């Protein structure tokens, strides 16, 4: 039986500290591989077939060079052609990244960036980019930006139809420089001038909560995440506690290898994830033997912004039966991308596989459904003040066996 607590307002915790990775990129399995794309890949097509297929392309290129009213730099035409080729795949997780964007997104996993410090997502129905969280103490919070605000103009550029990586380039900038942003809040347009800052986000945070419960929050699956997790487990002396809350809310993902390492901390043996490729081949990843010997009950918290590697870990722990998954249905990204650098210092991200949970569930566009669901709707920071995080309250109640008591007017149970 699934238990659902319908929450009339979203009281998003001020503990939210997600990196700009989640602001401008939902990623999974960046990996360490690097390759230079060649003009003719392993497509199985002959050189004559490739030449015929691209004949109209070269004809268009020559027409622009010979007849277009203005001179267009070759680099501009090349970037446009590369962008269009990848966009033709009609895959939201594949894309071309110019050198600046490629550098920005690769630097996200360092946990340090220069920007304003917001957590966002793209509204599916409209394509607009909405703020869903604020980094505590960051410039955006100090300027008065609120969850629910929608980006409309950045430094004079209309951003209502740009993707998140394009917005990243516009919003980011050197520490101490201003950026002018017009946000839409309801029907009102609000002008903000925000001075960018250097923001350092800890990848793992830990503490001991009331009722002797350990709490660990992981913000992304960086190269050092497993070492950070092990250090946090030691710091809170996890097996001296009565339970552990492992918080993956707003975690956008990261490295495939790290996701396997994190899963292996909780799963002693068995399958962690399955990669399924286009040629019907599969690769099965098993727990790597680095079990953390946790012997207390575990709750994993997830929400709608927990994506890819976060979903992999949640799905693996759910299938293995080693943790109770609580929160909201996750983002729903069940594909694997490889990041490939280009000779122009830009890069291409390409979907190369689907991933399945150990029980062969493909969560793409569906997400991981928690064992205990707690739904809520957006609220302002003013509404939040004075309330505790309801998902953490629910996790504490689950681990202690106490009744779930929320500071809310109505709680319902559904099958």
Q: Vertex 237, ends 231 and 243: CA angle to 5°?
A: 110
Q: 3-class SS at 373?
A: strand
Q: Which of 108, 149, 247, 319 is catalytic?
A: 319
CB-CB contact of 159 with 142 (8 Å): no
How many residues would you count in the chain? 415
User: What whole-number distance in Å separates Cα of residue 194 and Cα of residue 154?
Assistant: 11
For residue 319, indicate whether it is catalytic.
yes
User: What whole-number distance in Å separates Cα of residue 120 and Cα of residue 250?
Assistant: 10
User: What whole-number distance in Å separates Cα of residue 157 and Cα of residue 21?
Assistant: 22
CB-CB contact of 297 with 311 (8 Å): no
Going by C-alpha positions, the residue among 301, 196, 209, 201 that lies closest to residue 246 is 301
User: What whole-number distance in Å separates Cα of residue 338 and Cα of residue 18?
Assistant: 23
Q: Which of 306, 308, 310, 389 is catalytic?
A: 308
Question: Strand pairing partners for 372?
Answer: 3, 326
User: What whole-number distance in Å separates Cα of residue 1 and Cα of residue 322?
Assistant: 17
For residue 308, indicate whether it is catalytic.
yes
Q: β-pairing, 157-158 with 324-327?
A: unpaired
Question: Strand pairing partners for 185?
Answer: 188
Task: Give one DSSP letter per residue of 15-50, joined into a string.
Answer: T----HHHHH---B---S---PPPSS-S-S--HHHH
Q: Which of 333, 345, 365, 414 is catalytic?
A: 333
Q: β-pairing, 197-200 with 118-122?
A: unpaired
Sign of CA dihedral 8, 12, 18, 21: positive
CB-CB contact of 222 with 251 (8 Å): no
Cα–Cα distances in Å, from 164 out to 117, 151, 231, 353? 14, 11, 33, 23
Would you please indicate which residues are annotated as catalytic (active-site) residues?
308, 319, 333
């Amino acid at each position: 039986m699934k238990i659902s607590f319908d929450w009339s307002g979203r009281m998003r915790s001020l503990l939210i500290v997600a990196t700009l990775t989640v602001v401008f990129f939902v990623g999974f399995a960046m990996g360490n591989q690097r390759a230079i794309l060649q003009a003719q890949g392993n497509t199985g097509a002959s050189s004559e077939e490739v030449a015929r297929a691209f004949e109209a392309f070269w004809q268009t290129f020559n027409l622009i060079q010979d007849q277009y009213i203005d001179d267009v730099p070759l680099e501009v035409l090349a970037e446009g052609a590369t962008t269009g080729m990848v966009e033709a795949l009609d895959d939201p997780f594949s894309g071309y990244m110019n050198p600046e964007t490629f550098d920005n997104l690769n630097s996200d996993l360092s946990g340090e960036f220069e920007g304003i410090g917001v957590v966002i997502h793209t509204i599916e129905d409209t394509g607009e980019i909405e703020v869903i969280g604020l980094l505590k103490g960051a410039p955006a919070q100090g300027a008065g930006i609120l969850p629910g605000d929608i980006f409309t103009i950045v430094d004079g550029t209309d951003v209502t139809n740009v993707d998140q990586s394009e917005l990243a380039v516009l919003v980011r900038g050197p520490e101490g420089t201003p950026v002018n942003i017009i946000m839409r809040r309801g029907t009102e347009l609000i002008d903000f001038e925000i001075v960018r800052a250097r923001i350092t986000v800890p990848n793992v945070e830990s503490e001991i909560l009331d009722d002797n419960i350990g709490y660990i929050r992981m913000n992304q699956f960086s190269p050092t995440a497993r070492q950070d997790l092990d250090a946090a487990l030691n710091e809170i002396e996890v097996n001296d506690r009565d339970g552990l809350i492992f918080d993956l809310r707003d975690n956008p993902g990261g490295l495939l290898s790290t996701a396997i390492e994190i899963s292996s901390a909780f799963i002693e043996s068995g399958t962690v994830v399955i990669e399924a490729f286009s040629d019907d081949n599969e690769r099965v990843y098993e727990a790597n033997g680095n079990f953390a010997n946790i012997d207390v009950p575990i709750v994993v918290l997830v929400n709608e912004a927990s994506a890819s590697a976060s979903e992999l870990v949640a799905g693996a722990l759910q299938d293995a039966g080693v943790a109770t998954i609580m929160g909201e249905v996750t983002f729903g990204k069940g594909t694997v991308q490889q990041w490939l650098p280009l000779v122009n210092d830009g890069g291409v991200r390409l979907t190369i596989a689907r991933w399945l949970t150990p029980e062969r569930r493909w969560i793409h566009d569906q997400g991981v459904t928690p064992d205990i669901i707690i739904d809520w709707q957006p609220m302002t920071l003013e509404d939040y003040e004075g309330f505790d995080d309801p998902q953490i309250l629910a996790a504490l109640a689950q681990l202690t066996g106490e009744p779930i008591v929320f500071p809310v007017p109505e709680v319902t149970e559904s099958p």
